[in-house]
Amino acid sequence: MPYAHQPVANRPIERRSAEPSLGEGEVQPLGKHAALGLETLDGWTRPAHDRAQAGYRREAIIGTDDRVRVRETSSFPWRAICHLQIYTADGEDYGGTGWLIGPRTVITAGHCVFLHTLGAWVERIVVSPARNGRDRPFSSSVSREFQSIRGWIINGQPEHDYGAIILPADQAVPEAGHFGYSVSDTASLRRAYLNVSGYPADREEATQWWSARSSRRVNETTIWYDADTAQGQSGAPVWRLDPRTGKRVVVGIHTNGADSGNSATRITADVFANLERWKTL
């Protein structure tokens, strides 16, 4: 049931259907810290070539492209970041990114689960934690159970562009681990070093890429930053290292790109409450 205290725009909406089995041929199971939130670069190299795919939203490389490929995706936190293969009712398929907050709950952008261009939920999503090209260290799961909120489903408001994928009970992945997340005050987010990692469509297929730069601007619902992204990274976690504990904490859900700054739906008290609810499903 929706939270009675929440504004109408933040009330959850869900789409459920019978748990599917993997369709034939869809997937085959196959494996120096820096200050202020910057992850390390050890052992990562850039690819020799690019490969473009379809995506959802315009994304942006701001200045020099400093994205770095994550080679060891089976290590934490990279293994908690999921490649999404999204299938729609009109026969199209797209790539996206999500991140685990529990064994069965994957957070992503709202436009990865509900497409306003079709006015409908997507049909199914193949979720592959830690995917690294052909390698799927934690296999893959197929979900048809999605969550989002009224502000996105009904109104299409960018500040409400987030949702969740609920994995079937028998396909939970506790061994992949999960991210922590929090409501951060505006002052602490201004000029904070933010990390973004996901599965861009302009690189080798289903490979994970990371970038980190300072936040550019913050308001009540959105965080803008200069970290580089590309189509296919919608839904990626935006995190920093907590200066008090040194732990990784997600503060936003990447959704949009522009030369003036890529941006994320900020984890506010309302977003936090919905994530907590979805984590228990």
234 carries an active-site annotation = yes
Instruction: Give the pairing of strands 163-166 and 237-241.
Output: unpaired
pLDDT of residue 256: 85
Q: Say if 211 falls within a structural domain.
A: yes
Question: Which residue has 């999605």 as its token pair?
Answer: 146
Q: Say if 49 falls within a structural domain.
A: no
Question: Which residue has 């990114």 as its token pair?
Answer: 97
Q: Which of the following is catalytic: 83, 111, 178, 254? A: 111
Residue 101 pairs in a beta bridge with: none
Q: Say if 61 falls within a structural domain.
A: no
pLDDT of residue 36: 25
φ, ψ (nearest 5 deg) of residue 152: -95, -50
pLDDT of residue 62: 63
Structure tokens at 232: 């296919």
pLDDT of residue 243: 79
pLDDT of residue 251: 97
pLDDT of residue 100: 98
Structure tokens at 252: 């936003």
pLDDT of residue 260: 64
Q: Say if 223 falls within a structural domain.
A: yes
| DSSP string for 82-100 | EEEEEE-TTS-EEEEEEEE
49 carries an active-site annotation = no
φ, ψ (nearest 5 deg) of residue 95: -100, 150
- E strand or H helix at 275, and its extent? helix 269-279
Tens-digit pLDDT string for the chain (281 aa): 222 334 457 777 766 543 322 222 222 222 222 222 223 222 222 222 222 333 334 455 666 678 899 999 999 999 999 999 999 999 999 999 999 999 999 999 999 999 998 999 999 999 999 999 999 999 999 999 999 999 999 999 999 999 999 999 999 999 999 999 999 999 999 989 999 999 998 899 999 999 998 899 999 999 999 887 778 999 999 999 987 888 999 999 999 877 667 899 999 999 999 999 999 99
Q: What does each C-alpha distance from 135 to 125, 132, 139 come to in angstroms?
A: 18, 5, 8
- Give the alpha-carbon dihedral of 153, 154, 157, 161, to 10 degrees: -10
pLDDT of residue 14: 65
Q: Say if 239 falls within a structural domain.
A: yes
Q: Which of the following is catalytic: 197, 215, 234, 263? A: 234
Residue 242 sits in a domain of what CATH number? 2.40.10.10
Cis peptide leading into residue 77 (ω within 30°): yes
From CA 176, how far away is CA 100, in angstroms rounded? Answer: 8
Q: Say if 14 falls within a structural domain.
A: no
User: Which long-range contacts (C-beta less than 8 Å, at least 24 apart) are formed by 18-24?
Assistant: 18/144, 19/144, 19/145, 19/168, 20/124, 20/142, 20/144, 21/142, 22/140, 22/142, 23/142
Q: Say if 59 falls within a structural domain.
A: no
- Could you give the number of structural domains in the chain? 1
**Domain, as residue range, for 210:** 180-268
